[in-house]
Amino acid sequence: MPDPVMSRGYQSGSEGSDHHYNDDEPERNFSSFAEYIDHSKHDPEKVVEVSTNGRYAKLNSVLGKGAYKIVYKGIDREEGYEVAWNCFQTTKQEYAELSQEVEILKRVRHPNIINFHDCWYSNTEFIFITELMTSGTLREYIRKLQSPNLKVIKRWCRQILKGLIYLHSYDPPIIHRDIKCDNIFINGAHGEVKIGDMGTAKMKIGKKYTVIGTPEFMAPEMYEEKGYNEKVDIYAFGMCLLEMVTGDYPYNECKNAAQIYKKVTQGLKPECLSRIIDPEVLSLIQHCLAPEQERYSAQQAIEDPFLGVEPEVVVLSTNEAKNHLTLQVVFKGMDKLSVKFEFNADTDTAEEVVNEMIEEQVLPQKYQRFITHDINRILRELAGTGDKKDSAVGIPSSPMLHHQNGVNGGLNGGLNGLSNAISHLSLDTNNTASLSSASTGSPQSHARTHSLSRTMSRPDWNGEDELPFKEYSLDTPIEDLVNDTAMAYHRGPDKAHEWLVKLKNQDIMTIGDLKDLQDSDWAGFDLTVFASRALRNRLFGKNSARPHSLSRTSSGATTDEGM
């Protein structure tokens, strides 16, 4: 086997930061990877070449340059938008061997993969047209941020892995072979990342043997004659995560590719790995860098505890006095799943709100401290004391190097009093639970004051605004109403029994006992606000004069009927 260090296979497809090493190279400087392009001597908008079919035009504007590749700005004349015109040095025979992969890549369409539009061979160059990302690479973004927030890193990782799951799910799987932060592009305005440089991708038909990629990100099996599979992309992803967390290029301590090769083949990990002290981050990286047979698949990686569903509380709106807030718990990693609710800073506490969510089974217990802390953080920020409070509880300024799986106790601040009742809940077709608040009566009401519904289920009724309404005779046993309501709102027998006991404890035996009750009477049943709303909606229906309604909307937006 030829010395892999000298192999031409050490190609990098980065649009602007390729590596190309010589053994006699004394040292490497990672501070600047891209060759400086002087645009002052030419017109960057001048068309210098046109594709064979006339659709794409190459402009006189170089976006990036590497050992074997140059990327120009281009124009799609049919659609009128900018594209990336990639020129990759290769032979006609190598291009012919790529024909099958090229046809597959043209059909690859995923939100986290840069679109591959067209390709052809011309004058020793493999030219391919791809989607243009204008916010730069993930590596450039990391250098700009210096210490990215751990939540941001998780968001990036999930998107990268979703793209890899898509590629690896093809039959046969598509192996990218050059995953690195330089080849992952970002839309800074939306936090969207996409895997780029698909020119090195290869279909897995049996084992692959070609030595190609960037040494720091190449799995040990890529250096061997035994061949490799799609798990080399997971190894590279692990190195990407290492760079995201530490800000250091893997094996930055090495002076040349020969030293990297020696460390990789001996199973020695990059020195910067020793700086990771967050056990969940470290565990995921180690699973990605493990030997091939033990290494995670892309699906296993995205299911790792570090990348599990993570809630974040955001402020949707607030009044001028900043004491009435509309908050939303967004679950990162689960598309279109959120819980929206009103919060009165004068009467509500984060602890009671979160406890109610847990009691109503909207949130798992494990998120209690996390969401409580987030709500209290928002209250402190609105009060202008956020920095002092965060410092007092020891929130790390560089969270990726610290364990952040749970927030310490002592964050149970907030304001005293009971909250105003939540009187409206909507469950949309995208599994989004929305809540808004209104008063149920006097502040002295001792009923529970926050109500939420399961976010992963929705009532089984038809019609955008139709409520689960049913006519009951006055002598109908109260059990009928309770059981019908529990079934309509996907509550189990235990929950129905709990409601029934509370009603019967107040001598409510038939529907007639409920018909003429006022809000203050309902407040005395010690039902949760959700249970109270659901029972009354089932009993009186949407169009009644009663002031509370529970309805479903198809868009997830909160409606105000019956408020």
Q: What is the mean pLDDT of residues 219-224?
A: 89
Same domain for 509 and 370: no
pLDDT for the residue 441: 37
The amino acid at 96: A
Residue 428 lies in a domain: no
What residues pair up with 325 in beta bridges, in sequence order?
318, 343
What confidence tens digit (pLDDT) does each residue in 141-160 have?
888 877 788 888 998 999 99
Same domain for 103 and 18: yes
pLDDT for the residue 120: 87
Same domain for 325 and 301: no
At residue 221 the predicted structure's pLDDT band, cuts being 50, 70 and 90, is: very high
Residue among 430, 431, 435 at smallest CA distance from 420:
435
Same domain for 323 and 291: no
Same domain for 277 and 318: no
| More confident call, 13 vs 157 | 157
375 with 383: CB under 8 angstroms?
A: no
Residue 452 lies in a domain: no
Residue 89, classed as helix, strand or coil, is strand
pLDDT at 162 over 70: yes
pLDDT at 137 over 60: yes
Same domain for 247 and 128: yes
> Which contiguous run of DSSP H or E holds residue 60?
strand 56-65
Same domain for 334 and 230: no
Average pLDDT taken over every residue of the chain: 72
**What are 3's two structure tokens?**
């010395």
173 with 167: CB under 8 angstroms?
A: yes
Same domain for 84 and 17: yes
The angle formed by the CA atoms of residues 394, 399 and 403, to the nearest 5 degrees, is 80
What domain range is 246 assigned to? 4-306
What confidence tens digit (pLDDT) does each residue in 229-265 have?
999 999 999 999 999 999 999 999 999 999 999 999 9
pLDDT at 36 over 70: no
pLDDT for the residue 335: 55
pLDDT for the residue 94: 80
Domain-terminating residue out of 389, 419, 449: 419
Q: Which of the residues are catalytic? A: 178
What residues pair up with 436 in beta bridges, in sequence order?
424
Residue among 489, 540, 488 at smallest CA distance from 518:
540
Q: What is the mean pLDDT of residues 392-412?
A: 33
At residue 191 the predicted structure's pLDDT band, cuts being 50, 70 and 90, is: confident
Residue 188 lies in a domain: yes
Same domain for 314 and 302: no
Same domain for 159 and 48: yes
**What are 380's two structure tokens?**
């402190």
Question: Picking from 123-132, 352-361, 463-472, 499-508, which range would have the lowest pLDDT averaged per residue?
Answer: 463-472
Residue 215 lies in a domain: yes
464 with 553: CB under 8 angstroms?
A: yes
Question: Which range has the top average pLDDT, 297-306, 321-330, 343-352, 388-397?
Answer: 297-306
What residues pair up with 73 in beta bridges, in sequence order?
84
Residue 285 lies in a domain: yes
What residues pair up with 545 in beta bridges, in sequence order?
none
Number of domains in the chain: 3
Same domain for 61 and 13: yes
For residue 269, give the CATH number of its domain: 1.10.510.10
**What are 524's two structure tokens?**
């005395």
Residue 256 lies in a domain: yes
Question: Picking from 230-239, 284-293, 443-452, which range would have the lowest pLDDT averaged per residue?
Answer: 443-452
Same domain for 230 and 143: yes
Separation of alpha carbons 162 and 429, rounded Å: 23
pLDDT for the residue 546: 39
The tokens 């709102």 sit on which residue?
489
Residue 252 lies in a domain: yes
Domain-terminating residue out of 274, 306, 338: 306
For helices 368-383 and 350-359, give the axis angle rounded to 10 degrees.
150
Task: Report CA torsion sign: 234, 239, 244, 245.
Answer: positive
| More confident call, 101 vs 451 | 101
Residue among 209, 213, 225, 274 at smallest CA distance from 246:
274
Separation of alpha carbons 524 and 527, rounded Å: 8
At residue 439 the predicted structure's pLDDT band, cuts being 50, 70 and 90, is: very low
For helices 150-168 and 231-246, give the axis angle rounded to 10 degrees.
170
Question: What percent of the chain stands above pLDDT 90?
Answer: 23
pLDDT at 14 over 70: no
For residue 406, give the CATH number of its domain: 3.10.20.90
**What are 516's two structure tokens?**
């003429």
Residue 501 lies in a domain: yes
pLDDT for the residue 41: 59
499 with 535: CB under 8 angstroms?
A: yes
pLDDT at 437 over 80: no
